Structure 1
């Protein structure tokens, strides 16, 4: 038998008994609520009945006073009759479930109306100066006939309602007592029933659960398991699953051992590849550095000898002038000296200067990858302020407006970070559109936690080996430099950060490695840089830098 069926059987019997007990409790509660409502209603009727007579007696006293002093103003009290009518209406609503009391309230209302009519006639007679003799008989008594009849009906109503209140109070007490007994019986019966159910469940299923628990503990500790449980219920099925899981775990452990060995071999292989890449990068940098130095010496020689040739040409030109050669020979020598040779020397000097510039650029790129950074918290706001101050002349010449937003600090090398913003702001100034006022904005976006790039060199503030393949997680900051300049065509966006790539070369001078250096510096800080631009609308360069030391996982 399945556990679900056993559970239904174990639950059905106590649930049926509990439902019966709950029915008794609910019936007792309903009777108690109804009795309490009746008792409360009786007390409200008594209170309302006792409050009806007072305004009527006060009005009767005012009528007597009006008769005595002959002033109708004491009698004309319309609000009193309205108040009495409202009180009687409320009282009639309260006794609506008792026809006998309703009839009494209606007779009381008739007596009030009769007395009101009489008071109105007395007031009319006093205003007209007529005799009030017809009313003298009534006024000679302790109270008018109508009020006396009203008082008798009211007393009868109060007596009857007091009797009903006593009966209802007694019924309420009896009902509450029954409710308490029913509630106690329901609670005790429920506890006994469920206790018996729990005992039966423990006897029936407890042993099987103990075996299942023991097998689960053995599975968790890796020990051999006992024989599977018999039966077709859920406990037996769970025990079967535990045995299958144990067998699969043993297979998985064997596979894990094999995979671990393979992983260690791949890790060693990756470490070797990583070391080879690091060595190759270092060799490339040293190659660039060495080649640049080796090329500089011949270039210096070329530059020096070209100057010597220029001086020799000048001296030769002086000798030719002093020789007073015939006109044809003089013109031919002058054309050779001042034309061909001088133009060739100018091309040579220009080529030497360009080659020297390229060598300097290569050296700067090489040094950017070999410099030891001083890692610390850098005030980006101060670095940008220094850059803007240094570029004030160019900014003024371009009639540009530079806006610097709040810039949170970053983690890195102060000089390198200042060089990044110097290059970006200088580019923004140089490539402004002359046809409209220049606008440059430097700011920062909201922080985010991202995976940083592997850092290329060790530092006191970073952990892990250079070029580590273990991903770094840190809180990053995104800064931006936005301008409304010439912009970059879509075809050139992918080449923006390559070395020796120059766009708008006729507008600003340069060797084309500034943005390549920016990318190299930012990547060494574990960040990234990109640009969003539209030709003719301006460009926005984004720089992501760590806000705190990189944590390697």
Structure 2
């Protein structure tokens, strides 16, 4: 057995090697998919880079604001310091404390940035050192003023040390601001380049997809044109073919009707000599009885030989028995052929059938047989169907009769009739038994005329299942069998949910 992977590989190789519209369309779709995937991945990467650049720009702006906050807070503290020294009013100390509180978060942000970016450590350390020095100088003057040593405090301010701290702090902050501004400009350009590349790639991809779409449309249009041309050629062929089919169908119908009439006539004509044979056989039996009585009377006088007695009392009855059995069998066969012929000529009459009730009535009609053998028939819920009542009764009647006839005596018999609706406007039924079963070689031939399977210990001529298949096909259905010898059989029936006739008595 060829592995599935090898089969799929072989089929794929054939598909790739064979030129076709499907292969071309598949190639274009794969190409478009790969192109879109590439563009999406590239766009995602560019967007990520742009987002990272924007985040860095935003962080740089925060650092610039933080450095400016440090400078502004130190200026506010210096203003508050000088106001307190000039006026001695304690309310000037509140702005000083507020300014000192504002500088701490700003310095913390700068320190955090310096940890992440070692190139900023020198600048941040310088700003921090100068800010602390300026704050220390201001706190020292305020301490002197609170102690009543205003002159010393003012002298400390006039020394210019605080001013030097502030000037150096401005320079340090300006240097950091210039560095961050340069980086912001660089990263802004990087973000703009990434955005431009993204736009260009999407534009190119859109153009390529448009080209692929136009190519696909052209191929589909060409394919549709070829289909239309082929359809026109097919219509031209069908125009003549329909007449041919109609003529041949008419001829076939007439031939079928002729065969049915011939079967009916032949069967009818065969019955005439058969009836004569059966009649003369009865007369011979009566004559035999008269001769037997005469021989009995002659035996009392010893006038009859033993060979005459044997011929009359043994040979003649045996021969007549064979003749009667053969004529009765021939009569049954002729009746079966007549039945098939009449069924083929009977008009079908569709009606809605309660299949559960119909099959239950059939099961009840053989109750005496199932009761005697200890068997049972189970009729499950069966879906209704619109079909010919007589045909359905004969089909299920024959199948149930067969199931009862061939039950296995070694186990309690059970026959189950079930069914369900099937997609597509069909209905399926199953007749299952646990009887003798049928050998696989006989699954098809049991539906042939005069053919039977297994032990021939039951009466019958092998016509029932042939009649069933003929009836099933006539109402548009199918019949199959699943069976295993010694385990039982299941007959599978499938019918259209609604029987539609093309003409009175015929199936569409």
TM-score by length of 2: 0.56
- Secondary structure of residue in 2 paired with 1:329: coil
Q: 2:316: which partner in 1?
A: 341
Query: Could you give the per-residue CA deviations for residues 222-257 of structure 1, whole angstroms, max 9, x where no partner exists?
Result: xxxxxxxxxxxx79x98xx79x969x969985x876
Kept in 2, the 8 Å contact 1:361–1:511? The answer is no
Kept in 1, the 8 Å contact 2:295–2:304? The answer is no
Does residue 1:415 correspond to 2:365, yes or no? no
- Secondary structure of residue in 2 paired with 1:381: helix
Q: 1:331: which partner in 2?
A: 306
Q: 2:244: which partner in 1?
A: 269
Kept in 1, the 8 Å contact 2:432–2:490? The answer is yes
Kept in 1, the 8 Å contact 2:281–2:324? The answer is yes
Name the CA distance, whole Å, in 2 between partners of 1:280 and 1:269.
16
- Secondary structure of residue in 1 paired with 2:438: coil
Does residue 1:490 correspond to 2:440, yes or no? yes
How far apart are residue 26 of structure 1 and its match? Answer: 7.7
Kept in 2, the 8 Å contact 1:376–1:411? The answer is yes
Kept in 2, the 8 Å contact 1:380–1:408? The answer is yes
Does residue 1:507 correspond to 2:482, yes or no? no
Q: 2:489: which partner in 1?
A: 539
Q: CA, structure 1 residues 510+30, in 2 after alignment: closer, same or farther (shift >3 Å)? A: farther
Q: CA, structure 1 residues 94+249, in 2 after alignment: closer, same or farther (shift >3 Å)? A: closer
Kept in 1, the 8 Å contact 2:340–2:467? The answer is yes
Name the CA distance, whole Å, in 1 between partners of 2:414 and 2:378.
8
Kept in 2, the 8 Å contact 1:320–1:330? The answer is no
Q: CA, structure 1 residues 249+407, in 2 after alignment: closer, same or farther (shift >3 Å)? A: closer
Q: CA, structure 1 residues 29+379, in 2 after alignment: closer, same or farther (shift >3 Å)? A: farther
Q: 1:444: which partner in 2?
A: 419
1:145-544 to 2 correspondences below 5 Å: 260-323=235-298, 327=302, 329-445=304-420, 447-449=422-424, 475-504=425-454, 506-544=456-494
Name the CA distance, whole Å, in 2 between partners of 1:375 and 1:277.
25
Name the CA distance, whole Å, in 2 between partners of 1:93 and 1:398.
102
How far apart are residue 331 of structure 1 and its match? Answer: 2.8
Kept in 2, the 8 Å contact 1:368–1:520? The answer is no
Name the CA distance, whole Å, in 2 between partners of 1:314 and 1:34.
135
Kept in 1, the 8 Å contact 2:418–2:430? The answer is yes
- Listed as ranges, the gaps of 5+ residues in structure 1 are 1-18, 43-91, 100-181, 198-233, 450-474
How far apart are residue 327 of structure 1 and its match? Answer: 3.1
Give the alignment's Cα RMSD to 1 decimal.
Answer: 4.9
- Secondary structure of residue in 2 paired with 1:496: helix
- Secondary structure of residue in 1 paired with 2:444: helix
How far apart are residue 325 of structure 1 and its match? Answer: 7.3
Name the CA distance, whole Å, in 2 between partners of 1:499 and 1:268.
35
In the comparison of the two structures, how many residue pairs are matched? 339
Query: Could you give the per-residue CA deviations for residues 92-123 of structure 1, whole angstroms, max 9, x where no partner exists?
Result: 99996488xxxxxxxxxxxxxxxxxxxxxxxx
TM-score by length of 1: 0.52
Name the CA distance, whole Å, in 2 between partners of 1:398 and 1:385.
19
Q: Counting helix residues as a fraction of each chain, which structure ranks higher? A: 2
How far apart are residue 277 of structure 1 and its match? Answer: 1.6
Query: Could you give the per-residue CA deviations for residues 415-474 of structure 1, whole angstroms, max 9, x where no partner exists?
Result: 21122111111211111111112122111245132xxxxxxxxxxxxxxxxxxxxxxxxx
- Secondary structure of residue in 2 paired with 1:286: helix
- Secondary structure of residue in 1 paired with 2:431: strand
Name the CA distance, whole Å, in 2 between partners of 1:96 and 1:357.
114
How far apart are residue 386 of structure 1 and its match? Answer: 0.4
Q: CA, structure 1 residues 388+252, in 2 after alignment: closer, same or farther (shift >3 Å)? A: closer
Q: CA, structure 1 residues 317+27, in 2 after alignment: closer, same or farther (shift >3 Å)? A: closer
- Listed as ranges, the gaps of 5+ residues in structure 2 are 1-45, 70-103, 112-187, 204-210, 503-507
